[in-house]
């Protein structure tokens, strides 16, 4: 009898967890798998040149992918309500990590964005994106009755301002752009007064324009974006080589593994500009197939958000899906020279262990929200 009772309890527990959203899970795993294959092809020339092992980037990313899938499945079982309860602590830890970067971080190419643990590097800005999503979701849920008030808008703005201020000192302008766009979208979905949002959007756009035109590093990127041929061996090199890769791919591509630009012509071919190598090898049709997979994953994420059982989980799933969408759109826009270079990686494809594990963890949280849809009412 006790054995039957224990079995019944385990069955009830499994039932209470709810069912994972299978389409979302399969699309995520498919993108990770395709991303690893494309990364291997894009990186093996540089990997051999730098390490003597053509598979070094692929092996490292595969280890992170396996760990990330484990994190995804684990996070899918962590009740999303836990993040609502601990949102303050998550935000505080994020601020401490960003401060730690400024004090102990590793400087690479004039930017201090990483904490080096010896065996790997950790980028706290990835945590900052997630932290803001959780904090804003909690705040806008808690203040639902006063969502249109100036005080609510001010509190949301303060959550953003602290993170942005710390990122400015790194500096990490690509993360600032992503976070600002993300917060704007979340506040619009959350119901913040449109007058406040429009006012801040105009001020923010004016400030960004001033920053870009005021000279220095960002101004050089604008000049290179407008006329890369003016300096083809320096500021315009990456843009031109990316365009050569995309153009030479044509409709069907040169064939998997047959890229020319990956042989040390295109900088960051395994990271921010991996989409250009994908276009070169798989062509327009291959690139569109990958973008279709991303579109289906994003649409499914928003579907889960629309069917979420409460306001917090709706905002949480919306924020995480919006973050993925923003990063995909901005990366592709930069690689195709529709926007100036901003150093934004392509989710699931670009080399980077911290980013991959965070992306899979965030997908796991969306899957946990999807579990709640099939749970019995409590």
List pLDDT tens digits, range 72-83: 999 999 999 999
- As a whole number, mean pLDDT of residues 239-257 equals 93
d(CA 126, CA 131): 9
Give yes or no for residue 52 having a pLDDT over 50: yes
The domain segmentation of the chain, as residue ranges, is 20-221+229-374
pLDDT of residue 313: 96
Written as six digits, the tokens of 98 are 């960003």
The whole-chain average pLDDT of the chain stands at 88
pLDDT of residue 211: 63
Residues 6+ apart with CB under 8 A from 94: 124, 127, 128, 131, 163
Among 4-8, 37-41, 243-247, 298-302, name the one with the lowest average pLDDT. 4-8
pLDDT tens digit string along 324-357? 999 999 999 999 988 887 778 999 999 988 889 9
Q: Is the pTM of this model over 0.85?
A: yes
Phi-psi region of 283 (alpha: psi -120 to 50; beta: other; left: phi over 0): left
d(CA 91, CA 182): 16
- As a whole number, mean pLDDT of residues 258-282 equals 94
Give yes or no for residue 220 having a pLDDT over 90: no
- As a whole number, mean pLDDT of residues 154-168 equals 92
Distances in Å between the Cα of 261 and the Cα atoms of 186, 218, 274, 288, 346 are: 38, 25, 11, 20, 18
The DSSP code for 105 is P
Is residue 269 within 8 Å of residue 303, measured between CB atoms? Answer: no
Per-residue pLDDT band at 105 (split at 50, 70, 90) = confident
Give yes or no for residue 13 having a pLDDT over 50: no
Distances in Å between the Cα of 258 and the Cα atoms of 47, 223, 281, 284, 289 are: 16, 32, 6, 15, 19
pLDDT of residue 112: 73
Per-residue pLDDT band at 251 (split at 50, 70, 90) = very high
Say which residue, 2 or 233, is predicted with more confidence.
Answer: 233
Phi, psi of 111, rounded to the nearest 5 degrees: -125, 135
Give yes or no for residue 210 having a pLDDT over 80: no
Written as six digits, the tokens of 375 are 């749970």
Per-residue pLDDT band at 48 (split at 50, 70, 90) = very high
pLDDT tens digit string along 116-136? 766 667 788 889 999 999 999
d(CA 338, CA 332): 8
pLDDT of residue 212: 62
Q: In what order do the strands lie in the sheet with 121-122?
A: 106-108, 111-116, 121-122
Per-residue pLDDT band at 1 (split at 50, 70, 90) = very low
d(CA 2, CA 19): 27
Instruction: Specify burial of residue 49 (Cβ count, 10 A radius: 0-12, 13-18, 19+).
Output: exposed
pLDDT of residue 120: 66
d(CA 239, CA 274): 13
Is residue 135 within 8 Å of residue 87, measured between CB atoms? Answer: yes
pLDDT of residue 282: 96
Per-residue pLDDT band at 33 (split at 50, 70, 90) = very high
Is residue 305 within 8 Å of residue 314, measured between CB atoms? Answer: yes
pLDDT of residue 226: 72
């Amino acid at each position: 009898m006790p054995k039957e009772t224990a079995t019944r309890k385990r069955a009830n527990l499994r039932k209470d967890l709810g069912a994972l959203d299978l389409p979302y899970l399969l699309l995520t795993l498919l993108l990770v798998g395709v991303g690893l294959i494309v990364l291997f092809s894009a990186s093996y020339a540089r990997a051999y040149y730098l390490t003597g092992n053509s598979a070094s980037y692929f092996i490292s990313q595969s280890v992170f992918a396996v760990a990330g899938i484990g994190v995804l499945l684990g996070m899918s079982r962590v009740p999303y309500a836990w993040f609502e309860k601990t949102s303050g602590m998550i935000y505080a830890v994020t601020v401490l990590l960003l401060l730690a970067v400024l004090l102990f971080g590793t400087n690479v190419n004039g930017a201090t964005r990483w904490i080096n643990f010896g065996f790997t590097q950790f980028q706290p800005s990835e945590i900052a994106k997630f932290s803001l999503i959780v904090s804003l979701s909690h705040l806008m849920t808690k203040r639902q009755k006063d969502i249109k008030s100036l005080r609510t808008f001010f509190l949301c703005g303060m959550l953003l301002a602290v993170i942005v201020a710390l990122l400015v000192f790194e500096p990490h302008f690509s993360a600032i752009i992503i976070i600002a766009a993300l917060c704007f979208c979340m506040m619009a979905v959350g119901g913040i007064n449109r007058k406040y949002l429009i006012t801040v959007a105009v001020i923010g756009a004016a400030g960004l324009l001033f920053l870009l035109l005021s000279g220095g590093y960002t101004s050089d990127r604008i000049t290179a974006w407008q006329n890369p041929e003016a300096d083809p061996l320096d500021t315009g090199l990456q843009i031109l080589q990316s365009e050569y890769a995309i153009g030479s791919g044509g409709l069907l591509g040169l064939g998997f593994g047959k890229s020319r630009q990956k042989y040390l012509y295109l900088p960051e071919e395994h990271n921010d500009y991996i989409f250009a190598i994908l276009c070169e090898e798989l062509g327009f049709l291959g690139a569109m197939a990958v973008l279709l997979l991303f579109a289906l994953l994003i649409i499914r994420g928003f579907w889960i958000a629309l069917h979420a059982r409460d306001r917090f989980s709706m905002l949480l799933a919306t924020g995480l899906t919006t973050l993925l969408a923003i990063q995909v759109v901005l990366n592709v826009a930069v690689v195709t020279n529709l926007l100036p270079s901003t150093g934004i990686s392509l989710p699931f494809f670009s080399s980077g262990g911290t980013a991959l594990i965070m992306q899979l963890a965030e997908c796991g949280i969306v899957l946990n929200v999807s579990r709640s849809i099939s749970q019995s009412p409590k």
